[in-house]
A = this chain, B = another copy of it.
Amino acid sequence: MQFYIKPKQKNEILKTLRGLGESFLKEIEEGKNPSVEVPVRTLRNIKFDPKERKIFLGGYVSKRYFLHLGETRRFTQLAGIASLSKKLIEEDKHVSLREAFYILKRTIPGLKKNIVEEQEESNRAIEDLELVINALREQLHMNANKLGAVAGNVVIKDRGDLIDWSKLGSGGWSVPSNVEDIEFVEVNAKFVIYVEKSAVWERLHEDKVWKKLNCIIVASQGQATRGIRRLLQRINYELGLPIYVLTDFDPWGIYIYSVIKFGSIALAHISDRLAIPQAKFLGLTGDDIKKYGLEKHLIKFKEIDEKRLKQIREYEWFKHNKDWQRQFDLMEKMEAKAELEALAARGITFISEKYLPEKIKNGEFLD
């Protein structure tokens, strides 16, 4: 399976969509039951490669049929999304997942039902289509939520505008939900710091970290959006810059890192292919807490934190990793978490002027 998907040419995708329709048509004309092959996304088809340390979909596909009571609805939805996607690409328009839902939602004549009743259904159909034609939903012109900002010595081209990420004042460039079409015009940075909190991003931005360390700083709020993940992936694969992930020292922060690096484990779904196996963890560690004297600034674990820690340390990709297990042990022993903002207790600009430069210089990453 291919891991990184290059931005496809629109024509290429249009061709695939048309091909899908034609395969249905052929079966119908031959008097057969229209069918489609969808890669299986159950656990048994999710693989982890311990050497390469990546999650990927195995080779199982399941064949679905239109004339099957349990599948006819989902099959129809898949075709509906394919049809919508074709229209969008042709008209060069994008829709949000919610809009796609409303567009597909209409009554099926003769049934007291709509083609989709809940957004979950259209979302699932989009995921199905991603798998069937091996494209990202963004390439199908369906966007998730937009969130997050970026700054750094980079000039891009987007919708005809030249945008200089170093000249956007305190705000930065607002990362769109779809980054498929942006072009990197000039890149003058050595790596990327992704931080899980926009407040910390503002700290780094105010302290001109991207200028001093010659890097790009990116943030969203909490779990990285698809737009951000795709942006990071494109920078990593196309520009070859390392991605450093800066999070709190807690199970949630580490899971944010894990998703960027390995992909999400929500039952195998194309977003796993947004993974960036080369990403490195630059966030707080148990050792940092001692080193920078943050012991007084820990937040006691709640039950849910403990539970999450237990889960996360059992993930295949952490389970056999001694470094990470050591961190989990430290966390378990402390029964507490540490936030990036706690570094402010050591000085307002401590994170920018001491913590980050030192860690990066010494290569204190976790992998």
Contacts and interface: CB of A to CB of B under 8 A. Distances in A.
A345 B170 contact: no
Interface residues of A, number: 66
Copies in the complex: 2
B156 A161 contact: no
Given A173-B171, A174-B172, A146 B198 contact: yes
A146 B199 contact: yes
Interface stretch (A49-57, A95-103, A232-240, A253-261): A95-103
A106 B182 contact: no
B341 A98 contact: yes
A186 interface: no
Interface string A337-356: 00101111100110000000
Interface stretch (A1-9, A63-71, A86-94, A358-366): A86-94
Interface string A143-170: 1011111100000111111110001111
A181 B170 CA distance: 9
A178 interface: yes
Contact of A96 (B88, B150, B170, B341): B341
A322 interface: no
Contacts of A147: 147, 198, 221
Interface stretch (A23-31, A200-208, A270-278, A304-312): A200-208
A174 B178 contact: no
